[in-house]
Amino acid sequence: MSKDNLDQLFENLQGKFDLEEPKGGHQERFLEKLSQSKGVVTLNTKKRSIWRTLSIAASLALLCVLGLQVFNTKPSLKEQVVEIAPEVSQTEFYFANLIEEQVQLLKDEKSPETAKLVDDTLLQLDKLEADYVSLEQELVNGGNSKIILNAMITNFQTRIDLLKEVLTNIENIKNLKSHDDENSII
């Protein structure tokens, strides 16, 4: 057909086209009837679209919560202390390693004769650690940094001195026991 014939055809049909909208759910009813005639079962598209919408909304909510967690994280107490006094991290690393070595030696020396001494020492070390954490908090809260830093170093030194003294006492106990054992055999 030529262009003129098409134009003429549409002019003749003008006003005869059905311009009414079908009733709501027409497409679903049509697809259901079509599927039934072919023996095919279809899923309810309304339920699927609701679940799809809910899953997208839940995913977005989860992403928002995770994003807020990542971007609104408050620095830890250690990070705040390092921000105020960077030299603290180096000092703490040195002393913490030294103390950890001494604590391991102390635990290795634990025996029935020294159990109470070791347990009491570990309890005292826990108290000193709690004091150290409170000193860190004071430093972050804006206390006199020189005094607090000195107190933190003193805390470390006190822990080391305590460990050395207890290890010396354990050696003395072991020596006395071996001396007593030698005397008992003879």
**DSSP string of 61-112?**
HHHHHHHHHHHTPPPPHHHHHHHH-THHHHHHHHHHHHHHHHHHHHHHT--T
| pLDDT tens digits, one per residue of 71-121 | 776 667 677 777 777 777 778 888 888 889 998 988 888 888 888 988 999
pLDDT score of 1 more than 70: no
Pair 68, 33 in one domain: yes
Pair 66, 33 in one domain: yes
| pLDDT tens digits, one per residue of 37-51 | 776 655 555 556 788
Pair 109, 67 in one domain: no
Pair 66, 84 in one domain: no
Pair 103, 146 in one domain: yes
Structure tokens at 5: 């014939």
Pair 92, 173 in one domain: yes
Pair 118, 173 in one domain: yes
> Which value, to the nearest 10 degrees, does the dihedral of the CA atoms of residues 90, 92, 93, 94 take?
90
Residue-number span of the structural domain to which 107 is assigned: 77-179
Residue 110 falls within a domain, yes or no?
yes
Residue of 51, 129, 143, 47 lying closest to 92 (CA atoms): 129
pLDDT of residue 44: 57
Residue 184 falls within a domain, yes or no?
no
pLDDT score of 176 more than 80: yes
Residue 121 falls within a domain, yes or no?
yes
pTM of the full structure: 0.55
Domain count, the chain: 2
Show which of 49, 73, 97 is a domain's final residue.
Answer: 73
Pair 136, 91 in one domain: yes
pLDDT score of 186 more than 80: no
Q: Using CA atoms, how far apart are residues 170 and 162, in angstroms rounded to an integer?
A: 12
Residue 135 falls within a domain, yes or no?
yes
Pair 164, 81 in one domain: yes
